[in-house]
Amino acid sequence: MQEAPKTLFARNGDVHIAYQTVGSGPLDIFLVDTWVHHVEIVWDFPDFARFLRRLASFGRLIHFDRRGTGLSDPVPLDRLPDFETQVADAIAVLDAAGSARPAIVGLNDGTLVAMLLAAGHPERCASLVLWSVTAKHQQAAGMAMEAIDEAIEMMTQGQSRGESGVEFLAPSRAQDERFSQQLARLQRYSVRPGAMGHYYRQSMESDCTDILPTIKAPTLALNRTGNPIVAIELTREVVSLIPDAKLVELPGEDHLVFSQDIDAPLDEIEEFLTGVRTGADPDRILTTVLFTDIVDSTTRASDMGDRRWRDLLDHHNALVRAELDRFGGREIATTGDGFFATFESPARAVRCARAICQAIPSLGIQIRAGVHTGEVEVRGADLGGLAVHIGARVAGRAEPGEVLVSSTVKDLLAGSGIEFEDRGEHELKGVPGSWRLFAEASA
C-alpha cells in the first residue's frame, strides 16, 4: 500500500488532538467526521480510504480524531467535551496544520461541529459541505428523550458483541460481512463504550436551528432520499434556513457517505469546491498481493464428500485468517479454496505465505502461494489491474507447499534475510512478456 500519512498532534490546553494532512494544493479541506473516527484505522477500511483519497485529490485534506476518540487523548467520562470545546479543538488542529480558511466538510453528526465552527468563526470557513445533516438529531431518530438511555444501552451491548449496526447505517451493505467487520473494527478502535453513550446523547439532545441563519459561507448539503436515520425532509429544512444553501438529493438509502455509490457525492463535492467535475478515475496504490489455493481441491472435495469438505474448508479458512492477522495482511476475497490478500510490505506477505504453507499440512492438505508487488486499482472494496492478475498467475505456477514470487518481490527483499531459488522464465497467461520467478527457500 501507499505509505500511511504521518499522524501529528495539535494541543488545546492539556489535551492532544490527533490529526493528519494528506495531499497538496491551494485548497484546504477540513473533514469533521463523527465520533467514530480513527486517523490511522480509517486507511485499513477500503471504502472509507477511497473517500479520503478522493477528497485529498481536490487539495490538502486535514482530518482528525475528536477529543476522547481515536488517537486523541482519552479523557475521563465526567470530562467529555461539550460542543464549544470541540470547536476549540478543531481550531487548534487548523492552527497546527497551518490552515487559515479551509473548506469544511461535516459528516453525519460531525455536521454539528462543522456548522458551529462555520457560524461562530466565519473567518475560518471558506465554504461548508454537510452530509446527512439535520438540526435536531432527536427529531431525526423519532425518539422521545426518555428513550435515549435505552438506545444507549442497546448500542453499548451491540458494541460489546462486535455488532456494527450496518443494517441501519448502510442497508445496501447489510449482507456484506466483510464490510460489517471493517465497520465494527473502526468503531471498536474509535470510541470506548462509555464515551459512545456520551457522544450519542449529546447529538440527540442538540438543536442548532438558531445558528443556521447566521452561516454566511457558501453551503452545500447532500443526503440520500431513502436515508432511514436522517430523513431527506430534515436536510431540506436545514437548507431552507441557511442563506443561499444548495441541496443535492441523491438516490439510495445509506446513512454512511462511503458505503453506496461513493462517486456520486464526491462528484458533487468536487464541483462545489473546485468548480470542475473530473469524474472518478481508478485509485491506484502500491501494494503486495498474496494468492493461495489448495492443491488438487477438486479431487479432494470429490473424495471427501460435501460435508467433510466444508468442515475442512472451515478449518483451512480459520487457519489462513489467523496467519493474515498475525502478519498484518488484509483479506480481499476468498476464492472457494483459496485467499486473495494484500500487505503493506512484501516481506510480511512472503513470511505469512510460508507460515500458511507450514501450518496447512496439519489438516492433511497442501497449498501453493504466489506473491507480487505492484500498483493496483482500488474501486470500493475491490482491487483490480495487472498486478492482481500477475499475483494470481504466479500462484498458479507454484508447486505444492511452495511460495513463488515475482522478480519484483525478490529484488525488493534484497538484504531482508529471506532467501530465494531461481525458478526460471515463465509465460503468465494474459500478462505481456516473460517473467522470472523465484521460490522462497525456507531455512
State the pLDDT at residue 297. Answer: 87
pTM check: above 0.75: no
Phi, psi (deg, nearest 5) at residue 11: -130, 130
State the pLDDT at residue 1. Answer: 37
State the pLDDT at residue 2. Answer: 46
State the pLDDT at residue 140. Answer: 52
To which residue does cell 494528506 refer? 22
* The three cell numbers locating residue 347: 516481506
Domains within the chain, CATH numbers bracketed: 8-274 (3.40.50.1820), 283-440 (3.30.70.1230)
Low-confidence residues of the chain: pLDDT under 70: 1-4, 138-152, 154-162, 280-282, 379-381, 443
| pLDDT tens-digit readout, 84-115 | 999 999 999 999 999 999 999 999 999 999 99
State the pLDDT at residue 383. Answer: 81
Phi, psi (deg, nearest 5) at residue 326: -65, -35
| pLDDT tens-digit readout, 270-325 | 999 999 888 766 577 889 999 999 998 888 888 888 888 889 999 999 999 999 99
Amino acid at 268: E
